[in-house]
């Protein structure tokens, strides 16, 4: 462990649900569940008001409805989540160049590379949380600071929601002693069961065991690393995007797209965004992949090695569009994404494009996604715009009608009105309101 290392872990509170409450004033302070539509759908997340009733991430939507029938059940709006995520990640990179995003709403920051004064850690963290709320128009995050990734993450969890905790190095052993073994990174259900079988339930139990005993039960690598972690010794570094394995972006649509030129336009925009991040990371990609998810949630990925290494927008976009050409999009596409990987430290632009097809085969993989966060057509929660009534969101739809609540982030709770779905004054999927 680097002595005096300071790692910050930040995680937004009830992220998807918090974005919905921010953008839908009538839902603030109320139970909100995102995801879980359809017979097999599962909950993506629930607002803290819904958690009181036992609703949790990954719970079947049917169970969530049983526990909290009066919650607002909404589909996901990924563009909105991504917009807020980008603002948060940007804010973190202003603190330190070493930011490792773990998901849309979670990241580690290496504070050794920041100019924060360790003597005023709490002030810095409070300033960060204030600025985050300002730039995201009101989201909250929980923050943990400690000498390692492991303890920093536990510290932010302990501070949830809307809090922070700073664990001094000499408090770390006590801080993690009573944690269940399952909280230790790398301990999944199988390892947990093995440990329970030999009477080890907490981190303190692990410390009382002998190294030999853990190695015998779990194997050398797992046993030794578990013993290290039990003593809060965690050397894992914060890996910024420079060291990332892939850099990617994707778009989910509110309506299925069948128009290839529309998809190409979106892919080019994604490629531009990915290229910018590849350039910021100072690396060059050898492989480009596209991901396409169809209306039935089947997903395929097509990847191709470029033969060279590039950070140029045009090269990434061209490869992505070529890969898309191999995909039949007629049944309707609800997500596309562009991903780059296999990075090199320097550029090797290919000069002759013609031999690519012959020399670089495409690899195709497919999977079926049964995520419950689906949003197509007039799904509950979708944003709409009406010529006369302005911005609103779908409250419910059926029998050729759609009920809209007219309100937005900056308004007070608004009225509900019903229209025919083909009302020409009604527009689905308007541009997002910009953040401050
Ligand atoms: P989390 O940070 O795990 O959860 P959260 O932000 O909703 O709540 P909190 O951190 O306050 O406990 O995940 C971030 C987002 O990722 C979450 O808002 C929705 C999405 N998600 C899923 O789609 N499926 C899942 O199973 C989980 C855990 C999260
Ligand atoms: Mg979160």
pLDDT per position in the chain (436 positions), as tens? 445 779 999 999 999 999 999 999 999 999 999 998 877 788 999 999 999 999 999 999 999 999 999 999 999 888 899 899 999 999 999 999 899 988 889 999 999 989 999 999 999 999 999 999 999 999 999 999 999 999 999 999 999 999 999 999 999 999 999 999 999 998 999 999 999 999 999 999 999 999 999 999 999 999 999 999 999 999 899 988 666 788 998 888 877 899 999 999 999 999 999 999 999 888 899 999 999 998 777 888 999 988 789 999 999 999 999 999 999 998 889 899 999 999 888 877 655 444 444 446 667 665 544 333 444 468 899 999 999 999 999 999 888 899 999 999 999 999 999 999 889 999 888 889 999 9
E-only strand ranges, 77-179: 99-103, 106-110, 141-146, 164-166
Instruction: Evaluate: CB of 247 within 6 angstroms of ligand 1.
Output: no
Assign 186 to helix, strand or coil. coil
Tell me which of 106, 172, 241, 407 is the catalytic residue.
Answer: 106
Q: What is the CA(106)–ligand 2 centre distance, in A?
A: 6
DSSP bridge partners of 247: 340
E-only strand ranges, 48-195: 72-74, 99-103, 106-110, 141-146, 164-166
Cβ-proximal residues to 130 (8 Å cutoff; 6+ apart), any chain? none
Chain centroid, CA 427 distance in Å: 28
Pick the closest to residue 27 from 419, 426, 408, 418 (CA basis): 408
pLDDT at 229: 95
Taking CA atoms only, the protein residue closest to ligand 1 atom 7 is 14
pLDDT at 361: 65
pLDDT at 79: 84
Ligand (nearest to CA of 42): 1
Instruction: Evaluate: CB of 16 within 6 angstroms of ligand 1.
Output: yes
Alpha helices in 329-422 (DSSP H): 356-359
Ligand (nearest to CA of 162): 1
Q: What is the CA(232)–ligand 1 centre distance, in A?
A: 26
Mutate-to-test residue for ligand 1 from 51, 104, 105, highest number of ligand atoms within 8 A of CB:
105
Q: What is the CA(142)–ligand 1 centre distance, in A?
A: 13
Q: Which bin fits 133, alpha (ψ -120 to 50), beta or left (φ > 0)?
A: alpha
Cβ-proximal residues to 125 (8 Å cutoff; 6+ apart), any chain? 8, 143, 145, 164, 166
Model pTM score: 0.78
Taking CA atoms only, the protein residue closest to ligand 1 atom 15 is 15
The token pair at 426 is 């009604």
């Amino acid at each position: 462990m680097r002595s005096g290392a300071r790692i910050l872990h930040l995680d937004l509170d009830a992220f998807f649900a918090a974005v919905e409450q921010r953008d839908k004033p009538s839902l603030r302070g109320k139970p909100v569940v995102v995801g879980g539509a359809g017979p097999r759908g599962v909950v993506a997340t629930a607002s803290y008001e819904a958690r009181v009733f036992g609703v949790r991430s990954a719970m079947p939507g049917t169970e969530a409805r049983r526990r909290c029938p009066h919650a607002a059940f909404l589909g996901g709006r990924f563009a909105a989540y991504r917009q807020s995520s980008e603002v948060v990640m940007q804010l973190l990179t202003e603190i330190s160049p070493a930011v490792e995003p773990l998901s849309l709403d979670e990241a580690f920051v290496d504070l050794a590379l920041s100019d924060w004064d360790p003597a005023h850690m709490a002030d810095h963290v409070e300033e960060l949380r204030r600025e985050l709320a300002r730039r995201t128009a009101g989201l909250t995050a929980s923050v943990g600071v400690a000498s390692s990734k492991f303890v920093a993450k536990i510290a932010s969890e302990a501070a949830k929601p809307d809090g922070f905790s700073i664990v001094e190095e000499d408090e770390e052993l006590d801080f993690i002693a009573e944690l269940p073994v399952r909280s230790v990174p790398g301990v999944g259900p199988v390892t947990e069961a093995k440990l329970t079988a030999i009477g080890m339930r907490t981190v303190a139990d692990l410390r009382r065991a002998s190294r030999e005993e853990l190695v015998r039960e779990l194997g050398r690598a797992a046993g030794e690393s578990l013993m290290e972690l039990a003593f809060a010794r965690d050397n894992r570094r914060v890996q910024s995007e420079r060291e990332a394995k892939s850099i990617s972006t994707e778009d989910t649509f509110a309506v299925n797209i069948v128009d290839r030129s529309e998809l190409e336009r979106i892919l080019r925009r994604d490629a531009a965004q990915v290229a910018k991040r590849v350039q910021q990371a100072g690396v060059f990609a050898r492989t480009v992949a596209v991901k396409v998810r169809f209306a039935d949630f089947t997903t395929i990925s097509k990847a191709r090695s470029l033969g060279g290494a590039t950070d140029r927008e045009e090269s990434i976009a061209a490869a992505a569009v070529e890969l898309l050409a191999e995909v039949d999009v007629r049944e309707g596409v609800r997500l596309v994404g562009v991903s780059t990987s296999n990075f090199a430290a320097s550029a090797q632009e290919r000069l002759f494009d013609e031999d690519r097809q012959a020399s670089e085969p495409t690899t195709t993989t497919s999977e079926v996604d049964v995520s419950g966060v689906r949003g197509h057509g007039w799904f509950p929660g979708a944003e709409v715009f009406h010529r006369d009534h302005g911005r609103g969101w779908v409250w419910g739809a059926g029998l050729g009608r759609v009920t809209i609540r007219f309100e937005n982030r900056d308004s007070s709770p608004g009225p509900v009105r019903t229209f025919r779905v083909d009302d020409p004054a009604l527009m689905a999927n308007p541009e997002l309101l910009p953040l401050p």
